[in-house]
Structure 1
């Protein structure tokens, strides 16, 4: 065991028990990290897999658990060639939510292995960013979903920004820093509001969504799309969060089904070499 340690802290708008479920429940782990073969349990071996093809990604044993405040793993990945490290998770109450601290210790110290340490540091940073987005969406009830595709992050970004006519709608009007997407007599307009490690932000400045039994066609105005594109072995993991699309909007059910069609199915197909299903009206 060495002294080389990666440490991260993140504040999450969720209770410790909700965060604990994200750290131990296979279905929830899959949304931000990697799916587990079984719920994590003290004294038991675990395996986390690639969500796209099921290959083993990380594995080890759960050394200690004290729900919902502390957990410690033995941990390794393929490039570590069987060498074990440890990952410790600390959950503490914070005003409005939870402070989650992760410490990944016992990493190799040689100059030759520094690239692996950098890759692990970058990976943990991205995964905890995913967790933050999901916890925030859970707190508000906003739409949020993740797809895994066999395309590079660069290819995924091009598809999202420049190829909407292939996977979303055939009728797209682009401007220097935004886009208007048309569906029949409806339209929605976005300004690309910038990008940072929190994702690519699109702000909806105008909407006229003609939906049966929805009186206010402008409901999308003021909401935002946040795209996270993270590298995965052999591809990318893309999370779309539609901030503001929740049960407070009359179009919630219809629009959620729309994202299931265009994002979860059509964009995934486009980036997987399959046939997408854009709106053609």
Structure 2
């Protein structure tokens, strides 16, 4: 069975503006977590914590597989709780009159053998929380 999280946001900003919030370290910090560096195609990416006492600790990471600015971003995604299992995030930005339709497909949960449904459900909830902030800062 294949499990995937699919989220769609309607943002009142052009794709070029929204793209920055997915790929630039300082913009990621405004809604998700601070990036160690800007994302680059073929490169590794890392997000670090800003939690007091743990500032700068690596919290999630992966490899950028595809970047087609400002239309599509694909990267792997993992963290310590996934125990080395890599999932995949595919971001699609569609320009529409008045803004951008941003779609995230986050898949690969079935590779996490311990509790794939539980892990996917936790991330589904987490994306909702983060996307609330993304709507505020990117629109």
For normalisation by structure 1, the TM-score amounts to: 0.46
Q: Which residue of 2 aligns with 1:105?
A: 107
1:32 partner SS: coil
Go from structure 1 to structure 2 and tell me whether the alpha carbon gap of 1:82 and 1:25 turns closer, same or farther (over 3 Å shift): same
- Residue 135 of structure 1 deviates from its aligned partner by 2.0
Deviation track 1:109-140 (CA, whole Å, cap 9, x = no partner) reads 7573322211100011111111001123xxxx
Largest Rg, 1 or 2: 1
1:17 paired to 2:19: no
For normalisation by structure 2, the TM-score amounts to: 0.91
1:134 paired to 2:133: no
Supply the RMSD in Å over aligned alpha carbons.
1.5
Deviation track 1:81-117 (CA, whole Å, cap 9, x = no partner) reads 0011110000001221000000001113757332221
Match of 1:118 among 116, 121, 126: 121
Whole-Å separation in 1 of the counterparts to 2:84 and 2:113:
16
After superposition, residues 191-230 of structure 1 pair within 5 angstroms as none
Whole-Å separation in 2 of the counterparts to 1:28 and 1:3:
32
- Residues 44 and 63, structure 2, Cα contact 8 Å, conserved in 1: yes
- Residue 61 of structure 1 deviates from its aligned partner by 0.3
RCO higher in 1 or 2 (8 Å CA, sep ≥ 6)? Answer: 2
Q: Where in structure 2 are there 5+ consecutive unaligned residues?
A: none
Whole-Å separation in 2 of the counterparts to 1:110 and 1:85:
13
Equivalenced residues, count: 135
